[in-house]
Amino acid sequence: MFKNLLGSWYLKKKISNGFLGEGLVSLKSKKLNNFHYEEKGLIHKKDNNNALSAYQKFDIVENKNFIKFYFLLGDKKNKIYQKFNNTLKENLVSWYFCKKDTYKTYLKVINNNLFKIDHLITGPNKRILIQNTYFRSSKNS
């Protein structure tokens, strides 16, 4: 799946708590079935131009059975962030537990120029939906 998504992407982010975001994402191949994800962007409240910078990095390992995202930053560096059952192909869902919060993540490739990763974060007094839509800006040659 990810070998078809290598290249540069424009990211549009919508967060249910009233925040919006946008950024650039790079997906590169490290070796066979091993990929590098890097995201640089800005997040701001609707109707407010005061933006916060956002930066994320993940390694992605994919085989016929699973897709795993590994943290590359912070105290969870090199630990699994998401693990999707790759045999389902259509409806990829993963769960991640962080203290009292649960992250349910959906991965859907629409085509080689458009994909989505959505996160539903629930916890005590919390229910946040983060919708990430990726639009291809260029392919790696």
Q: State pLDDT tens for residues 74-109.
A: 777 888 888 888 776 677 889 888 889 999 999 898
Q: Which pairing describes strands 101-111 and 92-98: parallel, antiparallel, or unpaired?
A: antiparallel
> Which residues are 138's β-sheet partners?
8
- Sheet containing strand 126-139, edge to edge, reads 80-85, 66-71, 52-62, 34-45, 19-31, 7-15, 126-139, 114-123, 101-111, 92-98
Convert 111-139 to b/e letters by CB count within 10 Å (16 or more is b): eeeebebbbbbeeeeeeeebebbbebeee
User: How far is Cα 132 from Cα 109, in angstroms, rounded to an integer?
Assistant: 12
User: How far is Cα 81 from Cα 55, in angstroms, rounded to an integer?
Assistant: 16
Tens digit of pLDDT at every position of the chain (141 positions): 888 888 999 999 999 988 999 999 999 988 888 999 999 999 988 877 788 899 999 999 998 888 888 888 777 788 888 888 877 667 788 988 888 999 999 989 899 899 999 999 999 989 999 999 999 998 764
pTM of the model: 0.86
**Structural domains in the chain, sorted by start:** 2-139 (2.40.128.20)
Token pair of 30 as six digits:
């490290």
Element holding 34 (H helix, E strand): strand 34-45
